[in-house]
Structure 1
Amino acid sequence: MVSATPVVIYPPDESGGRRVRIDGSILGLAYSTQDVARFMQEAGLQEWDEMDVVRSALIEWRGGGPDDWAH
């Protein structure tokens, strides 16, 4: 379950993927907000969709916001 600790989305790498960290653990690479929503669902927020990802204060976007996926 996601705690009050922000979810961190790191800057895009060479492939355009962004590392996703939830509660201190790297869950994998996301290539879109849809991928981030899936990671959030796996972390216990089953109702989350792409709009929740874009609007959430739980998520800290580093190196660009939810529209930045190019390296």
Structure 2
Amino acid sequence: MLRLIGEHCRELAWGTAVGMVSEYRRVTVYGSGRDEILGTANSDHDLVVFLEGAGVAGAEAILDAPQWVEWRGGPAHEFSAA
């Protein structure tokens, strides 16, 4: 079983205007007894791409299923500051 973790992250975006902050979700998949950081997501579409890449059919329909996706550090589907 795979489990996708979307952890809300915030960092200073280097090489941009002073004070600009980049926000995203760090995406980690847990399965087969190991953890693998897949990358960063800036939208639900990015999460769907990660899930489809892991072989999950109907990925868009499971973004709100807690047995598949755990949203950490902020509300589900939020990728930037309000």
TM over 0.5: yes
Matching residue of 1:67? 77
Q: CA RMSD in A?
A: 1.7
More helix by share: 1
Between the aligned residues of both structures, percent identity stands at 29
Letter in 2 for 1:37: V
**Cα contact 2:62–2:69 (8 A) shared by 1:** no
> Gapped runs of 5+ residues in structure 2?
12-21
**Cα contact 2:27–2:37 (8 A) shared by 1:** yes
SS of corresponding position for 2:23: coil
Matching residue of 1:56? 65
Letter in 2 for 1:12: C
Matching residue of 1:11? 8
Q: Distance in 2 between matches of 1:25 and 1:40?
A: 13
Report how far residue 21 of structure 1 moved.
Answer: 0.4
Aligned length: 66
Matching residue of 1:47? 58
Deviations 1:32-64 (A, max 9, x none): 111001100001114312x421x2121111111
SS of corresponding position for 1:12: strand
Asked which structure has the greater CA Rg, the reply is 2
Query: Structure 1: which 4+ aligned runs deviate by more than 2 Å?
Result: none
Report how far residue 9 of structure 1 moved.
Answer: 0.9
